[in-house]
Amino acid sequence: MNINVLFFGATADITGQRRVEVAIAPETTASEVSQNIIAEYPRLASHKIHISLNQQFASGDEIVRDGDELAIFTAVSGG
Amino acid sequence: MDFFELTSNPIDIARVSRRVVPSECGATVTLDGYARKYTKDKASGEIRETEYLEYEAYEAMALKEMQKLIDAAKQQFEIANVGIVHRIGRLDIGETSVVISVAAPHRKPAFAACEWLIRELKRTVPIWKKEVYSDGEKWIEGDAETPEDVTK
């Protein structure tokens, strides 16, 4: 199973990418995906990280499914 | 008519403001948010001088969140129509970054709804601001009462 992981702003700068396809095991949660990414890019750990799953804010407990879109970003700062 | 948009072009505030007006309304409150040159750093108290801003959006999700905000505002306040336009890309100092127009039969709910909408937009709509200085740049992180923090 593969999901798309998106990065914006600070997280795009830190990871050097905006979109990456990630292979996941069945029953993986959204927060497990983000923790793996944070482990891969330790500079993310100094930021407060938020995630969304399929364009909705996620608590992290959600099970991700094939083709899902998960985004990893810092606290929003529009306006 | 309600509307919500992201644009990389300058925003015509008057046009946004008039687009929300139906015949049963008597007042429109419009917020014109624009790029500030001097910002006091919350942590250090130091004044930073910004040369220009860059906004980036998670566009598909930002539009969904804007729609949700408008729906929620219309449930809570006695208002008729809401228009929200947010600029993305590079903005010079003084250029409008966001316009929120709220039309209502009477002014008080329009003021209250406009204040509520900008507060919620800054908390929930996935848009990020980068301040660019003469000697560097910084992505601004919001006050982070934002929905959920999965790392804590």
How confident is the model at residue B103, as a pLDDT?
97
**B86/A48 Cβ within 8 A:** no
Contacts of B125 in chain A (CB under 8 A): 76, 78
Prediction ipTM score? 0.96
Cα–Cα distance list, A27 to A6, A16, A32, B8 (Å) = 20, 28, 10, 40
- CB B151 to CB A52 under 8 A? no
What pLDDT is recorded for position B144?
Answer: 61
Per-residue pLDDT of A20-75, as tens digits, reads 999 999 999 999 999 999 999 999 999 999 999 999 999 999 999 999 999 999 99
**pLDDT at residue B28, rounded to an integer:** 96
Q: Output the pTM of the full model.
A: 0.93
B66 contacts chain A (CB < 8 A): no
Q: Which of residues 12-71 of A touch B (CB under 8 A)?
A: 12-13, 30-31, 34, 38, 45, 47-52, 55-60, 71
B98: contact with A, CB 8 A cutoff: yes
Nearest CA in chain A to B33: A79
| Burial class for A52, CB neighbours closer than 10 Å (0-12, 13-18, 19+) | buried
Q: Residue B149: its pLDDT value, please?
A: 40
Residue B152: list chain A partners with CB under 8 A.
48
The segments of chain B whose pLDDT lies below 50 read 148-152
Residues 6+ apart with CB under 8 A from A62: A29, A30, A53
